[in-house]
Amino acid sequence: MTISELFLPEFEQEVASTRRTLERVPDDRFDWRPHEKSMTMGALATHVANIPSWARVVIETDAFDVIGPDGKTVRAPEVASREELLKLFEQNVEAARRAIAAASDEELAKAWALRAGEQTLFTAPRFAVLRRMVFNHLIHHRAQLGVYLRLNGIPVPSVYGPSADEA
């Protein structure tokens, strides 16, 4: 079994749970935040919707520079509604799915680097970057979004088992 064949079922499971979470983000709460140091619900949900796009970047490039050509930190596209959020998520998931499915074990074993201008933040095999920066990062921020939902009285979907709102 290839690495891609091992990763795809897990990716699909996480995508399904993430979709259920994003579907609950209300349009009228995009500006809500639990604390002044926290992201708004809209920014966090957009971050979650954008994370799958990183799979294609990791697989199809040797590195990513978080500093763009204009000298500013690269930012995800902004969305203003749940409909736009889900459209962005689905586009990113489809691109990630195709990239993961097409990646050979040899490609996934190659080194990939995250850079900030001239500074290399880290270098790791692509399969490890997919695990940490895509899968684990998605899980982490989806859980944060679940807390945002809870604090707003919005039912939290089940993810790995029942939630307090869904058996």
For every one of its 167 residues, what pLDDT tens digit does the chain have, with 9 covering 90 and above? 999 999 999 999 999 999 999 999 999 999 999 999 999 999 999 999 999 999 999 999 999 999 999 999 998 888 999 999 999 999 999 999 999 999 999 999 999 999 999 999 999 999 999 999 999 999 999 999 999 999 999 999 999 999 999 87
Stated as kind and residue range, the H or E segment containing 65 is strand 63-65
What is the CATH topology of the domain spanning 3-151?
Four Helix Bundle (Hemerythrin (Met), subunit A) (1.20.120)
Reading the block at residue 94, the tokens are: 């489809």
pLDDT value, residue 78: 87
Dump strand ranges (E) for 23-110.
63-65
Predicted TM-score of the model (pTM): 0.95
Separation between Cα atoms, residue 18 and residue 149, nearest integer Å: 13
Helix (H, G, I), strand (E, B) or coil at 125: strand
> 137: annotated binding-site residue?
yes
Q: 154: which 2 tokens?
A: 């919005």
For 15, residues 6+ apart whose C-beta sits below 8 A from its C-beta are 52, 93
Nearest to 119 by CA among 65, 57, 61: 65
